Every structure is written in C-alpha cells, then in structure tokens.
Structure 1
C-alpha cells in the first residue's frame, strides 16, 4: 500500500505539495479549516440587492496578479496536464497605473518603447538610471533564482542520490566532497553579490533621482511585506521578474487558480476535506536506530473534533509561526521555541474594503495606486511606528476593466487596500477599522475623483488584520507572513524540513522561499521533494 501524507491547509503551497505528492503515487489527505480552499487566495461573492443572483459582485480577496506563470505551468505538467486546459491567462498592459495628487500619472507598460515614454513623463533625466536599475535586477535574478528560489539550501548542500530533486550537479555533489564544498562556497559568496547586505532603497536612490519614480520602485519591497528602507537590495530582482515574465489575470478571477488546482488535485485522488481544522500534529519517538539528532517523528494529526488521522508524513501549509505555537508541543520545538518565534518580525498588513458600486469609474485601470503626498510617512507607519497612516497609498483593483463577469452590468467591484501594521495589541480593529474605512472612502471620493463613491456603494465588506488572523491563522494578521526587513527573515526563514521532528515539512509564505503566489507554489514543490526523499529513503 502506498504511503499516506497529510497536508494541513489548502492554500496554494498546500495544493502544490498535494498535487506533486499524489502525482508520485502517494495517498494524500488535505485538511482545510475554512469552508473554501485557497488560503489567502480566496473569493467573496456579494449579491446586488436589486439584481439577479447569477450576477453577483465577485471579489478576489488575496493576490490580485499572477506572476512567474511558468511556475504554475510546471505544476500542472507535474500532474500530467497543462495549465491552458484549465485556465485562460491574460497579460495585463499596463500592469499598474500610479496617480499623484497633482494629476500626474505613470503606467507600468510591457513594451519597452511605451515604458520609456511613461518614464519621460515623470522622470526625463532618469531613463538611463532606470535602465541601470533594471539591469541590476536582472543580474541579481540570474545569480539568485536557482540558488534561493527553486531549491532549499539543504537540497544543494546535501543532495540524496536517487531523489526526485536530482540534477547532474546534485549527483556530483553527493559523490564528490570537493564539489560539495564548492556549492557551499557559492552559497556563502552569492549573498554579497546579490545585495543581501545593502538596502533596497539605497540601490533605488543611487539609480534614479525623481521622487515619483523612486516611489514606484519602493513599492516592490512592500509587495513582500517589507519596508524599502530596511529590506535587502536583493529585492531588486522583483521588478525585473514582473516585467520579464509579465503580470497576468486568469479569466474568471484570481480565485480560478485555486479552483483549478483543487480540480487537478482531486483528479489525482487527493482527499480534500474542508471545514476540518487541525488541533495538533501527532508526534511519536523518532525512528529506532536513526542516525539523527531529531527528537520526534510526525505520525499524523488530531482534528478539532477529536478525530485522529495517521500518516507517514505531515506537510504543514498553515502559517509557520502559528503552527509551531499551536500545533506542535513545546517539547518538540528546540529550535523554534516561543522565545525564537517572538523574534520573527511579522510582515506588513492592511485594511481591505470590498465595494460593490452602482455605475462605473472609467478613469480606473485594472490596477491603480493612488500615491500619498508623503510616501515615506505611509511606510514609517506600517513598519516603524506601527500606527494607522494618516495619508496612505491606496490601491484600487477594478477587475471589470478586464473581465465584465465580475460585477453586474453597469457596476464596479472595487477592491480597495491600504497599509496597516501587523497586530501588536495596540489597535482595536473593531473600532479603528470603520474609522479607517471612512478615511479611505473620503479620500477616494474627494481627493482622487471617485465622485459620489459613498452614495453609490450598494454592498460592502471589510477585511482587517484581525480578520486575517482569524480566517487564516496569519501571524499577527500579516498579509505576507514573515517580513523581509533583515537578512535572517528574508533569507533564513524557518526551513521546509523541520530540524527536530522527522517527516514534518512546511510550505507557505512564512517558510522558504517566501511570500507571493509563485514562491508559495515553489515552497510546496520543495516540501514535496523532501517528502519523497525521506519516504523513499
């Protein structure tokens, strides 16, 4: 009989691991606490009170852009199918539109000539500097992607012959200690070459002088839950990857990706059980005679209703910090005791508004960013003073620009997001959330030209940091898991294979290689490879 694996959590990382493991012939049970899979990649459907029920407002409540599509193409191929059989992707152009208070706009275009025209509008003296910045991003991507994104460091240092992760280099390293030493030297030297010890904002500021262009580029650090003034320069590769591989939208909405992954998983025999919260990872003594310093072995899980499910391995796609604190007994957490977990800085959060409105705002693009008069104050509030910003950058997503099916006729589904600090006990979101909501609506209506917005809202929901914590067990209500404001959190996240408990693995935004749709999918790939290595071994 094939080995049994339990996956805790139905986010993209968990679905990625489940698909790859089932495709290898393992029996996989995926347990999701909520009534819908997808994790933070999720969906809210709100009916219009005066329209037919079959044309509700649809809101993607998590990621709003699909990048690095080849990561998902490879995931579907691992399942014996093609992404195009399940999803229709549309490349967005512009990827985003930035708007400042004086009416100045900048569109991030795919075509090089069109982008240069946009650059000359806001920063005519910085075109060459932008090119240099883009070239630096490509250099860092070329040096770091294979080393830090597609494999875990331990896979490069300790490859196992015969494992699914084998490459020619891995086999050579397993057989040749000298080659292995060279790999280790590369792991040590590359950080200096890719800017791990330089600040992201310093690289931006040296390349361009325009305040507006700097603000556009600073935004890329916040996409990983980090402050541009603290994050390492390695994040320079993010804008390169976005332009190189494009920003995409799946027809039918971003949640179609989660639905497609679930369909593929079930076609491979994955048993997906929603509304099944896990209460504890069951751990027994380690394998007898094993040459290991580990102090336990994952043997299954216990659900909140008391049901115990045995397994040969457990992949945890729940937030890593939450998982260690709540699912794993403290005696099995030598490396990640509470004292260590307390030192992990949560990434940034936000307040999201789901607004179904009568009429349309044709001035909006698919992705819009309304920029504050003082951009630094927004960043300082979220990452430094941990307060609600007085004048935040406001992101507005209007998917009806690309997909009319997302709202009733002559209506808009506006997803509004503004920055907020992670939860530290100083803000009561039950009272602060409504006030912040009014602030954002007032700003969009009176400062940014969305006329009569408040009057035109017919349905509305809020998602606060407290909601993120409750819905997804997100550490401190963070959107992005662990932040990337320092070397340890950016590159030395809790690993995919637990150091104390055998056959316990992690996937998701708070483990290696980090947050964002393609990276969490890669974390599932890495975790699945480790499961196969250990079970085969």
Structure 2
C-alpha cells in the first residue's frame, strides 16, 4: 500500500516540526516554502558578514523540543548547542537595574537589593505559580475541536488557577506591591504581543516558565532550531521545497485535496497542513467560497497582537558591558503600552529590547565584531501609521536611544551593516496579517476551543500549526501545535506517536 502524502504549506517551526514527526512515522512529507530558507520568523538574516535571528531569541521550555526529538529517536543536543544563561536578562528602568536569575537564593538576594521587603512575595509567587503551571500545561497539550472538550478533569483541576477574571498585572498584585517589580514579572506579555493590563491572568505562567525552567541560547542563533528540524525531516525522507510559493489550497467537495503553486503546478496529497500566518493564509490561499466561518469580515473583527520595529546592526566592536538580553523600559511603561495597543501612535519614549549575543556566541560575526538585534514593540498596521514616512526618523531615534539610554555612546561610528523591518515590512514582505508579529491575540475569546482549531473547521483533511492555532504563539507552543495536529493525523491513520 502506498504511503499517505502530507503537504505542508510553510517551513516555519510548526511546519518543520510536523514534517519531522510525520516523516518519522513513515508518511510521505513535502513542505513548500515561499522563501529561500527555512524557519519563517524563526529564520535568519544575513547582512554581509553578520547573521541575525529574524524573530525569537529566547529559547524556553527546551524539554518540549527535546521530547519531540526523542519521539524521532534523536537527541536535540546532537543537532544544536544549547547554552543556559545564568542571568536571564537585565531589566533597566530610569533609576533601577534588576538582574533576575534562575538561582532561587540569588534571586531572593537580588529582589531584596533592588526592591527591599519584597522577597516573601517572590516565594509565594514561586509556590502558587508552580501549582498553576502543573495544572494548566496539561490543558494546553490536547486539542479543543469540540466544546465538550472543556468537560475534563484536566480543566476542572485547573479552574481555580485560571485567573481568567483578572488581568496579568492584577495577578502579580497578589504577590508584590511595587508596580515596577510587577512589571518585571509581567513584561513577558509582550511574548504574545499583549499588554500586561489586558492579558488574561493565566499568563502569569510565562514568567514562571523562565524562573523555573531557565532561559537558553542556541549557538548560531535560535534559527538553528529550525535548521535542526529541517535536517531530521530530510533524514527521514521528507522533502523541503524552497522558493516555492503556494497560491491556493485545492478543495473539492469539502475536502482538501492538494495545493496549487504560483507557477500553476498542482500537487495532490491526502492531507494539507497550513503553517502560514493564519489570517494571511485565509485571505491569500483559501478561496472565499471555502471559508464560511473565517470570512474576510470575521478576520477583520478578530483581535491581533502588536507588531515590532526591528534593527539588525553589524558593528566592528563588541560591547562587553551590554548583557546578552537587555530590556530598557519607557519612563512611563503603562502609557507606552497603551500607545502600542492603540495601533495608531508611534511612541516617542518607547521601551526596547537589545539582544547582544556576540558576548557569548562568536559564530554570528567575525572576530572582534558583533551582531546587535534591537526590537521595539509597536502597534500593528491596522492603525494606519505610514511607516514609509516614519521609518528613517524612527531608526535614527532608536540609534540615539542606544547611544544614550543603552550607553553605546560611539555606536554610529562602528556600524558596518544595518537592516530595518517595520510593521509594514512584516505585513507585505513577511506575509503577516496586519504586521501582527505575534499572530492572533491571546484574549480569552481566542483561546482553546475559541482559537482556530488544529483540525481545521472549514473543510476536511486540513490541519493548522503555528501561532494562529491552539495552543498559541511562542516557539514551545508552536512545537506543541505541530505535535497535536500530527497526532490527529496519525490517529486517523492508526499510527501511535510514541
């Protein structure tokens, strides 16, 4: 009997993970990717001699990916070099610098140094959030294709810890009185593109994941994770077709039958997995006649994450005093977040993140040089900001902030390469709907059953992976989305994933 064929649209981390798992189990896998490299937002930019991750730079919950490699009879450590960061990041305010660590005793000392009298709250935070994590994570590891999936002991046990009636910022108020300290445990809402004052309280587990499980770097950048997934897929006999743009999902009688490429080549298969940005894929490669639920009007009404303004700077020196991960907060952080959420204001005093991996990773730039990555959370394109007009001025504003607030006083004189990505670029060059870098919003009305399902609702034999489906955005949850969707296909084929 011939192998069942799985066609995957997009070689992002979700598509590659699904490709790895399904090819391991003997299915015929073909992945079609528009760009000439794998990874999507987990890919890389090469600027002269310098290499930069495009998107994610924090590797969290490494056990998730390790388990998936184990399923494929592989060890993740054979494919990438994982480096744990003792100091997770530097958090810089106008008058304080806070350096969280995964070492509990040192963290208590650091809290007392910067926020005297607050360490007891930290101990309570660790105790309760551990219980919350243990109860919530199992709820994110299963699909929610039917409303009846809510009727489970998993969710019953998790209910007291959901904190769905509170914002993330309010939940941290259970532990800390100092607003600045609350920000240190809630800025992680930006990982899902949301405001701490609007994100559901259940997302307090984001900071706990860092404090309990650690923050990791991958030598060569996190793009190497996608390279590793691609390598295993090909070792298993899967095929990755680069520079092959998918124009259309072919649907016949309510069943996905294959894809049509931009050159009008038709590829037939038994299953289609969509890894492309969800809303962008709906409007670009799924015809209107095949979208009863996710119409253009419905997509416009859905909530989306913020966007980001990016600088990738190759310089001829290394700023040894600048840590690996650094977050510089606006003087009025709440006001800054409100500007971001409005989608129509270019912040004059932005918060920004500086990634300086060359202090520990010498593979990203020539000797004595470094690859600096700068990210500014900013409104998505739905607010109508003219980024072609704003781009150059905002780039200069950020360079000024790097030279003043970040202390890189001579930065401009050392720049050899610089690349910029605006929200407009995310939308039109990276195929991200509204330039919403972190995909669909993670409000309660767009989680679990209410998020686009792993087994797509519009037509049969089609599955979703990536940040636009359950469980949500972020590398670990994207990997999980691929495992869930792959398991659903395997179940139909009578294949065990273990």
TM range (shorter): over 0.9
Checking the alignment, whether the CA contact within 8 Å between 2:318 and 2:358 is kept in structure 1 is no
Q: Partner of 2:21 in structure 1?
A: 20
Which of 482, 489, 514 is the matching residue for 2:446?
489
Change (3 A) 1:281 1:244: same
Alignment of 1:45-444 (within 5 A): 45-47=46-48, 56-102=49-95, 104-147=96-139, 149-154=140-145, 183=152, 187=155, 190-191=158-159, 193-285=161-253, 296-384=254-342, 386-424=344-382, 426-444=384-402
Question: What is the alpha-carbon distance in structure 2 between the residues aligned to residue 411 and residue 134 of structure 1?
Answer: 39
* Segment drifting more, 424-433 vs 304-313: 424-433
Report the Cα offset of residue 536 of structure 1. 4.2
Contact 1:503 1:534 in 2 (8 A): no
Partner residue of 2:425? Answer: 467
1:5 aligns to 2:2 (yes or no): no
Count of aligned pairs between the two proteins: 493
Tell me if structure 1 keeps the 8 A contact 2:305–2:441. yes
Q: Give the structure with higher Rg (CA).
A: 1
Separation (CA, whole Å) in 1 of partners of 2:492 and 2:218: 36
Partner of 2:413: 455
* Partner Cα distance (1:399, 1:202) in 2: 33
8 Å contact 1:368–1:397 — kept in the other structure?
Answer: yes
8 A Cα contact 1:31 1:274, kept in partner: yes
**1:186 shift after superposition:** 5.3
* Structure 2 unaligned blocks of 5 or more: none
- TM-superposed deviation, 1:101: 2.4
Taking the aligned partners of 2:138 and 2:341, their CA distance within structure 1 comes to 30
Question: 2:34 aligns to what?
Answer: 33
Shift of 1:154: 3.5
RMSD: 1.8
Q: Deviations over 1:28-57 (max 9, x none)?
A: 10000101010101111222xxxxxxxx22
Q: Could you tell which deviates more after superposition, 411-420 or 4-13?
A: 411-420
Could you tell me how far apart the structure 2 residues matched to 1:404 and 1:366 are? 12
Structure 2 CA distance for aligned equivalents of residues 226 and 270 of structure 1: 36
Contact 2:32 2:240 in 1 (8 A): yes
> Matches of 1:381 and 1:530 in 2, distance apart?
41
TM-score by length of 2: 0.95
| Matched-pair contact (CA < 8 Å) for 1:137–1:239 | no
**Paired residue secondary structure (1:279):** strand
Between 1:1-10 and 1:527-536, the stretch displaced more is 527-536
Cα deviation for residue 155 of structure 1 reads: 8.3
Counterparts of 1:245 and 1:218, CA distance in 2: 17
The verdict on how the C-alpha distance between 1:223 and 1:482 changes in structure 2, with shifts beyond 3 A counting, is same
SS in 1 for 2:305: coil
In 2, are the aligned partners of 1:79 and 1:268 still within 8 Å (CA)?
no
What SS does structure 2 have at the residue aligned with 1:249? Answer: strand
> 1:47-80: CA deviations, max 9, x gaps?
2xxxxxxxx2211111001111111111212222
- Contact kept, 8 Å, 1:354 with 1:415, in 2: the verdict is yes
State the alpha-carbon separation in 1 of the partners of residues 100 and 147 from structure 2. Answer: 36
SS class of match (2:185): helix
- Which consecutive unaligned segments of at least 5 residues does structure 1 have? 48-55, 159-180, 286-295
Distance 2:147 2:62 in 1: 24
Provide the rounded CA distance (Å) in 2 between the counterparts of 1:155 and 1:236: 26
- Report the Cα offset of residue 339 of structure 1: 2.4
Instruction: Name whichever of 376-385 and 505-514 sits farther off.
Output: 376-385
Return the alpha-carbon distance in structure 2 between the equivalents of residues 230 and 490 of structure 1: 14
Compute the displacement of 1:208 (Å): 1.1
Cα distance in structure 1, aligned partners of 2:291 and 2:115: 52
Q: After superposing the two structures, state which structure 1 stretch, 472-481 or 21-30, moved more.
A: 472-481
Q: Shift in Å at residue 506 of structure 1?
A: 0.3
Shift of 1:280: 0.6
